[in-house]
Amino acid sequence: MPSLGHVKDNPQEEKRRVITKMNKKIMATFAILIIALSIAGVAYAHWSGQLDITGTVKMGELIFGFTTCGSCGDGKMVDGRIVTPEPKDIGSITCELLEPETSVHLPTPKTVYKKLNITITKGYPEYVAWCNFTLDNGGSIPLDVVMYCVPADPVDTLTWRWEGYTVVGFIDTNANGVRDAEEPAVINIWFEPIFFGQIDPCQSMNSRIYIHIKEPAEMCHTYKFEISITAYQWNWEYIPP
Which residues here bind another protein, judged by CB under 8 A? 46-62, 104-105, 139-142, 198, 200-201, 233-241
Beta carbon of residue 198, minimum distance to another protein (angstroms, whole number): 7
Running DSSP on this structure, what letter comes out for residue 164? Answer: T
Beta carbon of residue 43, minimum distance to another protein (angstroms, whole number): 8
Q: Which residues contact 74 (CB under 8 A, 6 or more apart)?
A: 84, 85, 86, 91, 92, 93, 127, 128, 129, 130
Which amino acid type is present at position 127?
Answer: Y
Q: Decide whether 122 or 238 has the Cβ nearer to another protein.
A: 238
Q: Decide whether 54 or 222 has the Cβ nearer to another protein.
A: 54
Q: Decide whether 42 or 181 has the Cβ nearer to another protein.
A: 42
The answer to whether 95 touches 102, Cβ cutoff 8 Å, is no
Q: Decide whether 120 or 143 has the Cβ nearer to another protein.
A: 143
- Select from 33, 31, 24, 32 the least CA-distant residue to 5: 24
Q: Decide whether 142 or 184 has the Cβ nearer to another protein.
A: 142
- Select from 139, 148, 125 the least CA-distant residue to 209: 148
Q: Decide whether 62 or 194 has the Cβ nearer to another protein.
A: 62
Beta carbon of residue 12, minimum distance to another protein (angstroms, whole number): 13
- Select from 132, 143, 66 the least CA-distant residue to 98: 66
Beta carbon of residue 204, minimum distance to another protein (angstroms, whole number): 17
The answer to whether 227 touches 189, Cβ cutoff 8 Å, is yes
Beta carbon of residue 158, minimum distance to another protein (angstroms, whole number): 35
Beta carbon of residue 196, minimum distance to another protein (angstroms, whole number): 15
CB burial of 2-26 (b: ≥16 within 10 Å; e: otherwise) equals: eeeeeeeeeeeeeeeeeeeeeeeee
